[in-house]
Amino acid sequence: MTLSTTVKAHGAGWRVAEVRCTAGPHDPVQEEQHADICVAVVLNGSFRYRSPEGTATLAPGAMLLGNAGACFACDHEHSAGDRCLAFHFDPACFEEILAATPGARRLSFTRPALPPLPGLARLIASAEAAAEEGALEEVAVELAGAAATAAADAPRRSAPDLRHAGRIAEIAQWIEADVTRKLPLDVLAQAAGLSRFHFLRAFRGLLGITPHQFVLHQRLRRAALRLRRSDDAVLAIALDSGFTDLSEFNRRFRRLFGMAPTAFRRLRRSG
């Protein structure tokens, strides 16, 4: 197992690091401790995260939440490797951000993670793009406030059924490997060896999102990154991302990101 951390940006009371892990099912699990408040966005791969606030399985688009001083452990019992963008805040910095954030009522998290949420999709894509563009401070502040607000407002989930966790993790990785192919529910369920009803319930229970929503999130996130990284035509990006026409892509993009693809592209920064 290797764990590499690359600091992408830092300032007074905050820093952002890209974390890559190559751990797999046979690697030992080590307990660690959050040195500060952490909001980590999962970019690739999946893993299980345990903290005093609970246990969660995280996949791309999810957010890991960690309180300063809390012990935690991550394992890859059903998958191998992941990549995250981790935002760290010292308590005074985090308190300052939350004091100016409507709806953020607590200075500590009461849940271990947030599933992929439509209200956070634009921020996550912006954060990944900003890590390359060198403009992370504003994103870090906005992300901290949004995560705290979402954690306060999101309904509490019941404990997931872990009997099919391995199969669901494999399907999530399969989807992530090629999101452009057609992946109807019956095909995914058959690959998992479950009925459509049981697969849908197990997938949503474990990852907090339906398979269809997960596919759309992955397609749109990759399209958003390409919009920020290139000057390619929006139509070409839409078709290459697995959408059949531009109108469908525009509608889906606006619904998830709250703005048109061209407006998101204009957020691109020069550095």
Q: Is 199 found in the same domain as 138?
A: no
Q: Is 169 found in the same domain as 149?
A: no
Query: CA neighbours within 13 Å on the CB side: how many for 7?
Result: 6
pTM over 0.85: yes
pLDDT of residue 234: 96
Q: What is the pLDDT of residues 214-271, one digit of tens each?
A: 999 999 999 999 999 899 999 999 999 999 999 999 999 999 999 999 999 988 754 4
Q: What is the pLDDT of residues 138-169, one digit of tens each?
A: 899 999 999 988 888 766 666 666 677 888 88
Q: Is 118 found in the same domain as 18?
A: yes
Asked which of 97, 121, 153 is the last residue of a domain, the reply is 153
Q: Which amino acid is residue 270, in one-letter code?
A: S
Which domain covers residue 96, as residue numbers?
3-153
Q: Is there a domain that residue 185 lies in? A: yes
Q: Is 139 found in the same domain as 12?
A: yes
Q: What is the pLDDT of residues 65-109, one digit of tens each?
A: 999 999 999 998 877 889 999 999 999 999 999 888 877 767 789
Q: Is 117 found in the same domain as 218?
A: no
How many folded domains does the chain comprise? 2
Which has more confidence, 187 or 1?
187
Query: CA neighbours within 13 Å on the CB side: how many for 196?
Result: 6
In terms of Cα–Cα distance, which of 182, 167, 259 is closest to 215?
Answer: 182
Q: Is there a domain that residue 159 lies in? A: no
Q: Is 143 found in the same domain as 9?
A: yes
